[in-house]
Amino acid sequence: MAKKQSDKKPVTTLNVGGRKLPCRVTMGAMVRFKRATGHEASNLDTADIEEMVTFVHCCVASACVAEKVDFDMTVEEFADNLEPDALNEFYGGMGGAESVDPEKKTGNPQ
């Protein structure tokens, strides 16, 4: 019996500052993330917007290298050009993290 496939396809491009850039999770992206943050992508803190943006930046950087697309944005420049909808599209396509709401507070409930 064939496995049922999800209707949702992984994001392969992201609109960043008006450019369609390749984006996918690769081993290179995971290595870049570990070098940038000091911990594994499997331990990504979805309550930490900086980590989430850093991981997507790593995924774009890695995909751009693989596809020979010029990409030289720092994480900060990337974040300045990344809309929340694009971030939600990426994480929604992974079937993982909930949507990103920049207005949502992420403190401990009291």
- φ/ψ of 46, rounded to 5, equals -70, -10
The amino acid at 1: M
- Matching residue, tokens 């496939």: 5
pLDDT at 101 over 80: no
pLDDT at 89: 87
More confident residue, 57 or 12: 57
The dihedral sign for the CA sequence 89, 17, 75, 106 = negative
User: Dihedral angle at the C-alpha atoms of 30, 59, 55, 20, nearest 10 degrees?
Assistant: 180
More confident residue, 104 or 14: 14
pLDDT at 104: 42
pLDDT at 49 over 60: yes
